[in-house]
Amino acid sequence: MKLRDGMWLQAQDIRSEYAEEVYSVTELRLTLHQDLEAHFDGVISVEVTHWKGACNPGPHFDLFPGGKPETGDIKVMKNDDSITLSSGSLSATAKTTNHEFDIRFHATDSSKELTSLLNRSVGLAYTPVPTNPLQTGDMRDFHHYIFTQTTLSVGETVHGLGERFGAFNKVGQAVTLWNADGGTSSEQAYKNVPLWISSRGYGIFIDTPDKVELEVGSERSCRVQTSVEGQRLKWYIIHGPTPKEVLQKYSILTGRPGKVPAWSYGLWLSTSFTTNYDEKTVNSFLEGMKARDIQVEVFHFDSFWMKAFHWCDFEFDSEMFPDPKAQITRLKSSGLVNKVCVWINPYLGQASPIFQHAATEGFLLKRKNGDIFQWDLWQTGMGIIDFTNPKAVEWYVACLNALFEKGIDAIKTDFAERIPTLDVQWYDSSLDPRKMHNYYSFLYNKIVYETLQARYGQNEAVLFARAATAGTHRFPLQWGGDCESTPEAMAESVRGGLSLGLSGYSFWSVDIGGFEGYPPPWIYKRWVAFGLLCSHSRLHGSNSFRVPWTVDNDDKSEQGCSRTLAKWTALKARLMPYIFSQAQKAVQLGIPLSLRAMCLEFPDDPTSWFLDRQFMFGDNLLVAPIFEESGDVEFYLPAGQWTNFFTNETKRGPGWFKEKHEFDSLPLYVRENTVLVLGASYERRTVYDYSKDVEVRLYHVQQGTQAMLVDKEGNAIGTLEVGPDGNLIDQKVLTGNWKVIDSPANREARS
């Protein structure tokens, strides 16, 4: 929210009061208190409080789930005009003379100032404007906000804040962190994460699930204003200095991303939302895919596995599924698919016979007068599961386990954004309804994910989740929500994936072809190429099928939809030794596997902070999706030697390049100093022995270049390393009929 009207005037109906000077170590004038606390190397929290006696109800983010690290090298140093708090590589220095308000956050070695809190940068605001301080004796008619304004330096860019589909650089934007079902073409987001990363080598995590409003250079062009309604505002400043290190430290605060099993990286095929689900249709789809050499790993039943408007009572529609367990068993035993997923949500329509049972037992959210909270938002008389009630959780878990007994392996956790805040009474009455709005997605996904873990194993649980907030990256994976079948929506989805990756999420997917509408063949094929180079790949739509032959009238040519999908699915299968190894590293560091923003790999290249139409897949592969039917594409290569994966042609960066591609290729470039391990050319599976019959490609390697090999559980089994002669030192980890291919340019360089 904007608090001022330009530089000199207050905004209409707003009265702001500011911290004017540092009065003592932690106390600031105007009875506003600011506390700085060092936590561990490179992390300092800032908490601003007006009235300390105000309650601070939950829910609160689940911080340090893996345990709090040692505080490390923490120092407090005073001199004549300032006091400095240091936490390893990060320091905060506050001036204590001349009645100034001046707090600088900087590298402890003084190599760089990161940001600061200066004049009129910390304060409180009332609306409407009280004309007399006595009026604030009754706060029921006033809204009270706490705000801070951190400075933006010349040329500084800001990124993250969840899955945002607008401009990649957030400077100039007003951003509201409030989960909403807004599609991918608006300022709203399904996944609002209060973390932003700066190109100056730091990040800021805002420690509240409440609605947070940010003016990112949009009220004062040289400041990021953060405001929240209430008496407190706390955030952590995280020093990198690289963005990867910021995310790694953020994962200490909020938890590391969960691991997902190897099978989940294969192709997922959905029934789509409103299409026919009968067994004959499903089998015909899967048989058609097999006949076209397209391996499907997971089949997904979307919402109509239940009766319409019974969502979500966990009861199979008996007309469509007379014996669901037997049908799922037949599906798997056919060999056409290995895993089955179903769609759920955290709501319950009153048309379901189960609604009254859930209401009577107290499983549903209530109004303050004791009524069940219902509204007609999406389905008539919809109730909402109250996950603060342990009995409701127990019932929900039992429903999930009943699905697993029928053969369900994975769950799509849809919705969870439409959580009311007015006239609601949670079972746990100590909770703040406004804070519950975003936090609900954390509870929902946590319950489902942990139930899957209990059933299938710690690293075998897989979600396809839409709503999220801070910490939900621990329950992978997430997908990008309802996009249209247009090139613009594909670009929106790329920006959303990049932004979420910079918010601590390792795994992300998208509805290939777009969810809404009927993709023309060229959009479908360009999206297939992009979608199979996301960490996870799912064909899904609304009221039209996404099997390729329905898109282009079964064009059987090499450039038709079926052959295009077959080629890209096969390529992802071959890439699995690389993908699964890189996935373990991504989880360890708390960084995205794909889509990985270019600035994570090349933070010292200023151009990398503006690239929103390309990404890295792991450390070594650069991907530039194509948004034109003609196949024309322009992309940027950072400094170094890059090799075209398909042609072995090389280009040297930094620089911009233009290419034209058919549907079976795109700019896929391999970074220099890469040992790339590929599965055999015949592989179509996702799960196999990643050290057997492999092809090892060397790209402009130097002594010491390495590649870690993992087994199909993700455990390290060995490392391939390049020796002084440019060849692999030890090949014992490789089995079967493996081969090493040295790139032509690499051989020429050594000769």
| Residues catalogued as catalytic | 414, 417, 482
Q: Residue 376, CB half-sphere, CA atoms under 13 Å: how many? A: 1
Amino acid letter, residue 159: H
Which tokens belong to 46?
Answer: 């800032």
Q: What is the tally of helices (H) and strands (E) in the chain?
A: 12, 40
Peptide bond into 241 cis (omega under 30): yes
Which tokens belong to 600?
Answer: 């994570």
Of 713, 705, 708, nearest to 688 by C-alpha is 713
Instruction: Give CA 662 to chain center in angstroms.
Output: 30
Which secondary structure element, helix H or strand E, spans residue 399, and what is its range? Answer: helix 390-405
Alpha-carbon gap, residue 686 to 261, rounded angstroms: 10
Alpha-carbon gap, residue 229 to 210, rounded angstroms: 8
Of 189, 155, 719, 85, nearest to 493 by C-alpha is 189
Peptide bond into 534 cis (omega under 30): no
Which tokens belong to 334?
Answer: 């056919």
Which tokens belong to 632?
Answer: 């024309």
- Mention every residue, 6+ apart, whose C-beta is less than 8 A from residue 49: 32, 33, 34, 35, 146, 231, 232
Alpha-carbon gap, residue 608 to 610, rounded angstroms: 5
Alpha-carbon gap, residue 351 to 218, rounded angstroms: 46
Residue 116 backbone phi and psi in degrees, to 5: -155, 165
Which tokens belong to 625?
Answer: 């999706």
Alpha-carbon gap, residue 218 to 163, rounded angstroms: 20
Of 216, 221, 162, nearest to 188 by C-alpha is 162
Q: What angle do CA 448, 164, 616 make, to 5 degrees?
A: 90
Of 228, 43, 17, nearest to 123 by C-alpha is 17
Which secondary structure element, helix H or strand E, spans residue 344, and what is its range? Answer: strand 339-344
Instruction: Give CA 56 to chain center in angstroms.
Output: 28
Left (φ > 0), alpha (ψ -120 to 50) or beta: where does 334 sit?
A: alpha
DSSP 425: B
Cα-Cα-Cα-Cα dihedral sign, residues 697, 700, 703, 705: negative
Task: Classify residue 7 as exposed, middle or buried by CB count within 10 Å of its CB (0-12, 13-18, 19+).
Answer: exposed
What is the maximal distance between C-alpha atoms in the chain?
Answer: 85
Which secondary structure element, helix H or strand E, spans residue 225, and what is its range? Answer: strand 223-229
Alpha-carbon gap, residue 402 to 208, rounded angstroms: 35
